[in-house]
Amino acid sequence: MKIAIIGAGYVGLTTAVVLAYLNHDVAVVEKDKNKLNLLHEGKSPIHEPGIQGLLEEVQHTIRFTPNVAEVVPEAELILIAVGTPPKKNGEADTQHVEQAAREVAEVCLPDRHYTLVVKSTVPIGTNQRVAKVVASVFSARGIQGNVSVASNPEFLQEGLALQGALYPDRIVVGANSDAAVDTLRRLYKPILEQTFDPPSEFPRPSAYHLPPMMTTDPNSAEMIKYAANTFLALKISFINEIAGLCEKVSADVTEVARGIGLDTRIGNLFLRAGLGWGGSCYPKDTSALLGVAAQSGYEMPITEAARTVNFRQRAHIIEKLRSVLKTLKGKTVGILGLAFKPNTDDVREAPSLDIIRELLAAGATVRAHDPIAIENAQRALSGKDPFANTNLYFTEDIDALAYDADALVLVTEWELYHRLQLRKLAKQMKTPILIDGRNVYSPAEARAAGFHYIGVGRI
Ligand code: UGA
């Protein structure tokens, strides 16, 4: 099938590479010159495990262009995967989605049928607006046009995006037309029936079952996306709230999570207590959902509470540091991990940024380590002034991070940090304090290695 994908971000590029791997004929429209140059050189502009290899494998069925008019007219299906960044009031900004729809409608041929799919995460009602945008462009062009608009929300996780795209739990399609549903069923046939040979890096999981394709109306599909992310966000906030109480009553939240997770109605996933969620999705989507609710005059106290609990986890870490160091002024703190989660260089809404800002404001010196996110964190923290943080240092050497430091804070649970030489690090520090913001270590193990250990919700 000939496909045009608008936007080569996480969602757009992952989808493009996977669809090309499934032998679809894929053209990606990307306007950012830097990204486009990299893509023309065969390089992925995003950091995602396995994407570079797969991109190289599909070079013959994928192409990149800045020009909608070059690829849309001949496409059967057009996927919009552009960003919906938060506006100042927290609502999602859909102007890029609408602009993409407008540009597509301007170059559609009058005598062909197209399926226009919104994959970006959008507020409820956006598909209807996109259909109106398309209709108004057609009327301005004086043509009838034949476009079916459909919602096809994306559920991929950064760091696991290709697995998620090849082996999804489900595919959700929201459409009012049978033609759109049929086109999307043909598009995803190899995934729905798992008829493709798995890429060597991504073998099919042994317990994997064929995914259902759920069809519904566009508004419900849009709501499914927000509800899924909000539910996962509040599941994490719930265990973090329990963790706080565990600290007060001397219980271990990892044991509690294990015990409740064995109930199949609850399930054991997304019950890892710690520094909570960051990234480009949960913070933005919970806030956008509250925006939709506010516009409807509806209160969502559970979603609001999930956000409150999430962001106070960051403040709790600072309180824990204060409780052991007495004052933060003049102290040196090593930060292990800048990315919002492992296997990505993404620092958007990362807990590390708030923690570092808070420590600097309190007069501490901060040394920060991350395997791949240092550059992005540097950019996020320096703002307009590159010399703004004179007490902030970045290092790629964990020994240098620990040397003579007053405390270490483990912020991101990178695999590398699961294998730290605790005994050696403790010896190098001025005071061997480990605040484990992701409960990577068992308290007994860290204490045996000489650390004063404080986890999240642990004894
Ligand atoms: C999330 C969803 O998981 C995807 O299904 C969705 O498609 C995506 O948002 C999106 O809307 O684009 P993502 O933000 O990439 O994906 O990452 P997650 O793996 O869900 O983790 C989010 C945050 O929760 C991370 O900061 C992680 O450290 C934290 N987390 C996760 C916990 O604190 N505890 C847990 O038990 C699990």
pLDDT for 55: 97
The answer to whether 281 is a known catalytic residue is yes
Name the DSSP class of 242. H
Among 172, 281, 398, 420, which one carries the catalytic annotation? 281
pLDDT for 387: 57
CA neighbor of 169 nearest in space, from 159, 178, 180, 157: 157
Cα–Cα distance, 209 to 193 (Å, whole number): 10
**Nearest CA owner, ligand 1 atom 2:** 157
Residue whose token pair is 């000939």 = 2
Task: Read off the pLDDT of residues 127-179 as tens digits, 9 standing for 90 and up.
Answer: 999 999 999 999 999 999 999 999 999 999 999 999 999 999 999 999 999 99
pLDDT for 386: 55
Angle at the Cα of 73 (from 70 to 75), degrees rounded to 5?
100
pLDDT for 426: 98
**Atom of ligand 1 at shortest range from CA of 161:** 15
pLDDT for 243: 98
Q: Is 316-454 a domain of CATH 3.40.50.850?
A: no
Amino acid at the residue 296: S
pLDDT for 388: 63
pLDDT for 382: 86
**Exposure of 290 by Cβ count < 10 A (0-12 exposed, 13-18 middle, 19+ buried)?**
buried
- CATH 3.40.50.720 residue window(s) in the chain: 2-216, 316-454
**Nearest CA owner, ligand 1 atom 1:** 157
Residues of the chain scoring pLDDT < 70: 384-388
For 2-216, CATH gives: 3.40.50.720
Q: Is 347 in the pocket of ligand 1 (CB under 6 A)?
A: no
